[in-house]
Structure 1
Amino acid sequence: MDTATVNGIRLEHEIRGTGEPVLLISRLVRYHKRGWGGSTHTPGPVAVADHAADAIALLDHLGIGRTHVAGHSSGAAVAAQMAQDHPDRIVTVALLELSLLSVPSGEAFFAQAAPAFGAYADGDAERAIELFLSLVSGMDGERCRALLEERMPGSVEQAVKDADTFFGIELPALAEWRFSPENAAAIRQPVLSLLGSGTLQLWVEVAEFLRSTVPDIEECVIDDVGHLLHIERPRPVAEALARFLEQHPIAS
C-alpha cells in the first residue's frame, strides 16, 4: 500500500480502478485509519471525529474533491461523521452495519464481549481477538479464522498486532461517540444501510434507528450472513453498493 502524511500522521491507502472515487473505511480494505496496519499508531484518545478529519485530509492529499464514502462497523461511524462534518465533500454514504453503541442493546453487547476484554486484560491479545471476532461473526473461532485467512490472508495476525488500538482506543471512542436522532436527521446525502440477516441484535437496532431517522435512506439485507457480511458474501454486498452508486452519480 502507498502512504500519505496528513495531520501529522502517516496513513496507508491504496487506489484501484477508474471512475468516480469511493473511499472505503476499514482496516481491512483500502484505507487504514490511524492505529491500524502500517498507519501511524498514536496514543489515545482518538475520537471518531479525528478519524473523519484524517480521511478528509487524505482526500485533500490525493486531490479528490467530492466522493462517495463507505464504511463497515467502526468505519461506518467515521463515514457518518464525515457526512455531518463535510456535507459538501460527501455525495453518498454506505453504512455496512454501523457500530452505534448507544442503542438499547449496546450495554448487552459489552456484556457479551466481556470474555474478550478479559483475555485482553490478561495479556492474551490473540485469544481476545478470536473471542471478539467469534462474537460479532456468529461463528466459532476456528471457522471465523479460516474464513478470514482464506479471503484476507494475514488479516488475523495483523488484527492481533493492532489489538491495543482496538481494545484500548477504538472501542472506547465508539462508546463515547454520540450520533443522536438529530445528527442522523441532519445527514442529507443518500444513505445505503447494509445489514446481514443473521447479525446480532445490536446491528438490528442500529438499522432500525437509521430507518427511522435518516431522511434519504435505502436498506439492503444480505442473506445468511452476520456482521462480517462483506467478507462472507462479498458479491451481493458489492452488487448492492454498485446499484446504489449508479443511482447517485457525483455529476448529478
Structure 2
Amino acid sequence: MCDKTAGTRQAITLTTMHRDPPPTLFAACNGMTLAYDSFGDPAAPPLVLIMGLGTQMIAWDEAFCGQLAARGFRVIRFDNRDIGQSTHLAAAGLPDIGKLLGQALAGLPIDPASVPYTLADMAQDTVALLDALGIDGAHVVGASMGGAIAQEIALRHPQRVRTLVSIMATSGAPDLPPPRPEALQVLMTPTPTDRAGYVTRHQQVMKVLRAGSDTHEEALDAPRAERAYARGLNPAGYARQLAAILASGSRRERLASVRAPTLVIHGDADPLVPIECGRDVARSVPGARMVTIPHMGHALPQSTWAPIVDAIGAHAVQAG
C-alpha cells in the first residue's frame, strides 16, 4: 500500500519547514460563530476537513493541510461548535453521559430531544459554513466524529457533497464492536482544566489512541496540547458532543442512499473505533472504496499522511 518509512520522512521534513498557520477567521453559521481558516488557492476546488470529538481544527496539522492544498484544493478546516474558538453552548447544560453511554452500550435508542444537539445539527453547521463562504459543493472529509458528521452531510445535503471521505468513523450501528477497554477509559476520563494536567492527560490519551505505533509522535504531543490549551478548552462541550454522537443512532440503513463517491479510510489497529466499523461504512454505501492503513490507531500521525493524502487526492480526481 505504501512505504511507511518514506512517508514518515516526507512528513517530518514538511513539519520542520511548515510556515505559520493562516489567520483564523469567523463566520456566522446556523446560529453559531465558527472559527475557520484555509490553505491553497481560493479558486481551487474546495475541500472541507471536519475534526472529531472534543478536538480542535488544529489537529488537522498545517503541513497535512499544505500537502492537500498542493494537490490543487482549497483546504478549509474549522472548529466544530462547542470546541476551540467556535461558539461554546454553556447554557445548554451538561448531559448525563454515564446514563447515555449505558443506554448506547446496551443497544437502547436515545431520544434525540434529550440531548442539546445531534450530529445532524453539526452537519448543518458545516453546510452553513459553506454557505457563508459562497461554496455550492465541496469534497467533504471527516475524521472520527467528523466522519459521522460528513456522512450526515452526504445523507441530508447530497447536492453539497462532491465526494465523501470517512476516516476512522463508524455507521453507529449498535451491533458493531465496541472500543477496547483502555480506549473507552480515556474517552470517559474527565479533562483537567489546568495547563499541566491537560498536557499530561493529552499525552496519555494519544499514547492509547495510537495503539503503540508511531512512538516518535510522542515528542509532539506536549506542544500540540499546549497549543490547544492556549486556544481555549471546553470540557462541557466535549460532553455535549459525545451526547450528540450517542443520541444520533445508526446510519447503516440510511447510508444505502448515499450517492456521493465515497472513500473509507481506517487503521487496522484502531482501539476506539475498531476497523470493522469502517468496513461496515464501506459495505453500507453503494460503490464505496476502502483503504486500510497498516498499524494506524485512532490518530493521524505523520507516517500516515502520505497514503491518506494520496488516497484523498486520487479519490477526488477519479470522481471528476
Aligned to 1:135: 208
- Mark the runs of 5 or more structure 1 residues left unpaired by the alignment: none
Where does residue 32 of structure 1 map in the other structure?
Answer: 79
Cα distance, 1:112 vs. partner?
A: 4.4
Q: Decide which of 242, 258, 265 is 1:187's aligned counterpart.
A: 258
Tell me by how many angstroms 1:225 deviates: 2.0
Give the distance between the partners of 2:236 and 2:200, measured in 1 at CA: 13
- Matching residue within 47, 52, 64 for 1:22: 47
1:7 Cα offset (Å): 2.0
Equivalent positions of 1:1-252 (< 5 A) are 1-18=24-41, 19-26=44-51, 27=57, 28-29=59-60, 30-43=77-90, 44=92, 45-101=116-172, 102-106=174-178, 108-109=179-180, 112-114=183-185, 117-120=188-191, 128-139=201-212, 145-149=218-222, 152=224, 154-157=226-229, 161-166=233-238, 168-200=239-271, 202-229=273-300, 231-249=302-320
In structure 2, stretches of 5+ residues that fail to align are 1-23, 52-56, 61-76, 93-115
Distance 1:126 1:51 in 2: 27
Inter-CA distance 115–96: structure 2 relative to 1 (3 Å threshold): closer
Is contact 1:12-1:32 (8 Å) kept?
Answer: yes
Residue type at the aligned position of 2:275: V
Corresponding position of 2:97: none
In the aligned structure 2, how far is the partner of 1:200 from the partner of 1:76?
16
Which stretch of structure 1 is more off in the superposition, 68-77 or 197-206? 197-206
- Residue 188 of structure 1 deviates from its aligned partner by 1.3
In 1, Cα distance between equivalents of 2:87 and 2:126: 14
Higher relative contact order (CA 8 A, sep 6+): 2
Letter in 1 for 2:82: G
Partner AA of 2:38 in structure 1: I
Cα RMSD between the aligned structures?
Answer: 2.9
The normalised TM-score by structure 2 is 0.67
> How far is the alpha carbon of 1:103 from its aligned partner?
4.3
Q: Cα gap change, 1:214/1:146 in structure 2, threshold over 3 Å: closer, same or farther? A: same
1:242 and 1:115 map into 2 onto residues whose CA distance is 33
C-alpha contact (below 8 Å) 2:144/2:169 kept by paired residues:
yes
Taking the aligned partners of 1:128 and 1:147, their CA distance within structure 2 comes to 14
What TM-score do you get using the length of structure 1 for normalisation? 0.84
Change over 3 Å in CA distance of 1:9–1:41 after alignment to 2: same
SS of the counterpart of 1:14?
A: strand
User: 3-state DSSP class of the match of 1:113?
Assistant: helix
Alpha-carbon separation, structure 2, partners of 1:188 and 1:9: 29
Post-superposition CA distance 1:47-89 (Å, at most 9, x none): 1111111111110010000111001011111100000010111
Matching residue's letter, 2:84: G
1:145 is displaced (CA, Å) by 4.7
Cα deviation, residue 172, structure 1:
1.7
Q: Percent of aligned positions with the same letter in both sequences? A: 24
Alignment-mate amino acid for residue 16 of structure 1: F
CA contact (8 A) 1:191 1:218 kept: yes
